[in-house]
Structure 1
Amino acid sequence: MNLLQASLAGGAAFREPSQLLDGLTFEVASRPVPGVPYTLVALLAHLAVTTRASLDLASGRTQAWPEGLDVWPDPPVTEAAWRHLMDELTLELAEAQALGGDPSERARDVLTDLAAHNAYHWGQVALLRRVLGDWPGDGE
């Protein structure tokens, strides 16, 4: 695993997203936090949509960022939609890590930007879980 892959999927300076999401339920993820303009569900929907658009760019499936893309889509409102979102995000993270193995120059640039973007938001996921009293971590 190279540094780009570790930055995308955890294992370098970052926790693995699977650790950050371990045991997270729809009920907890839907809970609002006073003073925070979004829930964990909304934050994870944002991560999924921006990761998908970035992967499409990195892989060459598209040549430009989708015009008019709603990067803060309405979050899932049912347990089934939540599970689907989590499955999508898991698959996207695996795809990002695979693309980071031997990326083209364009893919490397897009994936490096994605890694920085996602690191910011994964930190928010950890913080919100702590604030909600739902942190699976070991006290870190």
Structure 2
Amino acid sequence: MNDKVLRKQLVSLLEGENAHISFEKAVADLPAHLRGVKPANLPYSIWQLIEHIRITQWDILEFSTNASHQSPNWPDQYWPSKDGPASEQVWQASLSQIKKDKQAFIALLNDTGKDLFEAFSYGEGQNLLREALLIADHTSYHTGQIIIARRLLGNWQS
């Protein structure tokens, strides 16, 4: 398999919009008053989904680059306790961190000195390819939930 082609496809997968809308578009222009609202019959708000994506992506990035990284406790430390962000600044910081960490992971993928298939010297056989697929899968799953929540809150047009 052509390593360069695989890396390009993984970056495309992480950036979204192949088979679904991107995370960035899913959260764009969400009114502040809806960020912490839990739609009827859903156990989470859009804020909680965004923070969960941020925490999980950060954890995967750290795991992929730091052998001594200790993951948060599951599930409590992967989900925020509050339904909504404390401020606009907190909201924007979360979105910025998601973008920054995604770009850092993409930089790992674009580093041809890193073997996509080689198991990390720690963990249980994970490798960079597996972690890239995990981020993409996890983020796209929760991006779909964000869109569903926005629809239920009457704030999505497609």
TM-score normalized by the length of structure 1: 0.83
Q: Report the residue type matching 1:56 in the other structure.
A: E
Q: Which residue of 1 aligns with 2:137?
A: 116
Q: Report the residue type matching 2:88 in the other structure.
A: E
Per the alignment, in what secondary structure is the counterpart of residue 106 of structure 2?
helix
Q: Are residues 63 and 111 of structure 1, via their aligned partners in 2, closer, same or farther at CA, if it must alter by over 3 Å?
A: farther
Per the alignment, in what secondary structure is the counterpart of residue 20 of structure 2?
coil
Unaligned runs of 5+ in 2: 1-6, 118-126
Aligned residues: 136
State the structure with bigger RCO (CA 8 A, min sep 6), 1 or 2.
1
Q: Which residue of 2 aligns with 1:27?
A: 33
Give the Cα–Cα distance (whole angstroms) in 1 for the partners of residues 18 and 106 of structure 2.
13
Q: Are residues 99 and 121 of structure 1, via their aligned partners in 2, closer, same or farther at CA, if it must alter by over 3 Å?
A: same
Give the Cα–Cα distance (whole angstroms) in 2 for the partners of residues 128 and 29 of structure 1.
10
TM-score normalized by the length of structure 2: 0.75
> Is 1:15 aligned to 2:36, yes or no?
no
Determine if contact 2:22/2:143 at 8 Å carries over to the other structure.
no
Unaligned runs of 5+ in 1: none
Determine if contact 1:45/1:72 at 8 Å carries over to the other structure.
yes
Deviations 1:54-85 (A, max 9, x none): 01122x22456515251112343222211211
Q: Which residue of 2 aligns with 1:95?
A: 104
Q: Report the residue type matching 1:74 in the other structure.
A: S
Give the Cα–Cα distance (whole angstroms) in 2 for the partners of residues 79 and 120 of structure 1.
25
Q: Which has the larger radius of gyration?
A: 2
Determine if contact 2:23/2:140 at 8 Å carries over to the other structure.
no
Deviations 1:85-125 (A, max 9, x none): 11111212222333333553211111111211111111101
